[in-house]
Amino acid sequence: MRQDFNPFILTGYTTPEYFCNRENETKRLIKNIKNQQNTTLFALRRLGKTGLIKHVFHRLQAEKKVVCIYIDLYATRNLGDFANLLANAVYQAYPEKKQFAKQFIDTFKSLRPIVSIDSLSGTPELSLDLSGNVKIEKTIPQLLTYLEAQNIPIVIAMDEFQQIVHYPEKNVEAILRTKIQELQNCHFIFSGSHQAMMVEIFHHVKRPFYNSTTPINLTKIDAASYHSFIKKMFEKYKYTITDESIDYVLEWTDRFTYHVQAVCHHLFADGDKKITLEKTQALCLEVLKQQEHIYFQYRNLLTDTQWQLLKAFANEETVTQPYTKKFILKYQLGSAAIVKRSLEALVTKEMIYYDASSPAPYYAVNDKFLMRWLQRLPK
C-alpha cells in the first residue's frame, strides 16, 4: 500500500477501490449499452457524472468487448472544436493498433490530420485542418461512419453535451440525431449539468433528440454508503475518525460528491491520524479560508443586488419561492422584478442552480463551500 497516496480522489478517476457506490447507476448504464440504448445522464455539477462514466468505462474496458470513447464538450465553442475533439478521441481510442492509426489518417487525408505531441501530457494528439472549404457539418457524421465501419461495439460518451446549444451553427442537434439513429455499432451517453438545457434538448417534442434516449438522473450518494466508504478509506490507512465527524462532513458539504471528497482529502493530507469533530470543524474553516480570495473576487464581479441575493440564498440553503414578499422583505431585496433579474443573472453565471428534479423544485448556491462561507458573513 502506498503511503504517499491520498485515497480521496479529487480529479478524474483511478480505480473502483476509490469510488463510492453508484452500483445501481453503473448497472443501468452498462445494461443500456449492452442493449444498444443511448442514455442521457443528468445531474447537478460536481455530483459525479464524469466519475460515473469513467467508472463504467473501466468495467467495460476490463471485458475488452467494447471500445470506449470519451469527449468533454465543456470548452468547445463550435462544430469545428467538436469535430476535432472527436477525431482526436477516436485516434486515442486505438493506441496500440498502429495499423488503425495509419488507416484513420489515410481516410481523413483531405482534412490534413496532423499528429503532434502535447507539450503538457507528452502524448500524441491528432488535429484536423478544418479551415478553407471543409464542410464541417459533414465531418462529425464522417467520423461516426468510420467508427461504425469498424464492426465492433463502440460506446461514445459526450460529456457536458448541453454545450452544443451555444454553438453558432444552427442545426447541430439535427446533424447529430440524423447520423446517430443510423448507427448499429455505436452507442452514446450524453451527459450534462445544465439541467434545464438538457431537458430542452431531450424532452422537447420539437427537438431532434426528443424521446430518443433513456434518462438517468444522478442524485447524491446516499448518506449511509458514503459514511461507510469514508470510514473504510481512513481505517485502511490506519486513521481513526469518529462517526460524528463523518456525519458533520456529509451535512456541511450538503453531500455534494466533490465537496465531500475535498474535505476528506484535506483531513487525510493533514496527517493527524486521530480525527475528532473539533478537528473536522477546524479543517472545514481552513478550507474556506483557502478559497476566500476567490470569493472576494466574486463579490467584485457581481452587482450589489446579485451579491445580496446570493447571500440570501446561502442563508436559506434552499429557496422554493424567491418572489414572495416574506423572502424579499427578510433580505431587503427591493422588488420581485429586481429579484427576478438578479436571479437570472446568477443562474446564467452558474452561481445558483435550480433543481427541477426534486419533488419541490428549489434554488440553491452551486458551490457548497461558497455557501458556507457566505453564511459566516455579517448579515
Ligand X SMILES: Nc1ncnc2c1ncn2[C@@H]1O[C@H](COP(=O)(O)OP(=O)(O)O)[C@@H](O)[C@H]1O
CB 136 to ligand X: min, Å:
27
Q: DSSP readout, 37-50?
A: --EEEE--TTSSHH
Give the footprint of Mg ion on this chain (CB under 5 A): 49-50
Q: Which helix (H) or strand (E) is 246 found in, with range? A: helix 243-252
Name the residue nearer to ligand X (CB basis): 187 or 194. Answer: 194
Least gap, CB of 12 to ligand X (angstroms) = 6
What does the H/E/C string look like for 269-325? HHCCCEECHHHHHHHHHHHHHHHHHHHHHHHHHCCHHHHHHHHHHHHHCCECCCCCH
**Structure-block grid coordinates of residue 15:** 480505480
Q: Which does 319 bind (CB under 5 to 8 A by kind): Mg ion, ligand X, none?
A: none
Toward Mg ion, which CB reaches closer, 126 or 260?
260
Nearest distance, CB of residue 260 and ligand X, angstroms: 8
Q: Which residue has the cell 430518443?
A: 212
The entry of Mg ion, ligand X, none that residue 99 binds, CB within 5 to 8 Å by partner kind: none
Of 32 and 50, nearer to Mg ion (C-beta) is: 50
Which of the listed partners (ligand X, Mg ion, none) does 9 bind, with a CB threshold of 5 to 8 Å by partner kind?
ligand X
Nearer to ligand X, 308 or 366 (CB): 366
User: What residues make contact with ligand X under the rule CB under 6 A?
Assistant: 9-12, 19-22, 43, 45-51, 221, 257-258, 261
43 interacts with, out of ligand X, Mg ion, none, CB within 5 to 8 A per kind: ligand X
In the block, cell 445494461 appears at: 31
SS3 75: coil
Q: Which C-beta is closer to ligand X: that of 23 or that of 243?
A: 23
**Side chain identity at 47, as an amino acid letter?**
L
Name which of Mg ion, ligand X, none residue 46 binds, using a CB cut-off of 5 to 8 Å depending on partner kind. ligand X
Task: Please give the single-letter amino acid code of residue 355.
Answer: D
Q: How far is the CB of 191 from Mg ion (least distance, A)?
A: 7
- CB 283 within 8 Å of CB 271: no
| 85, 71 contact by CB (below 8 A) | yes
Shortest distance (Å) from residue 35 CB to ligand X: 24
CA distances 161 to 9, 147, 158, 165, Å, are 24, 20, 6, 8
Closest approach, Cβ 243 to Mg ion, in A, equals 30
| Nearer residue to ligand X within complex by CB, 261 or 306 | 261
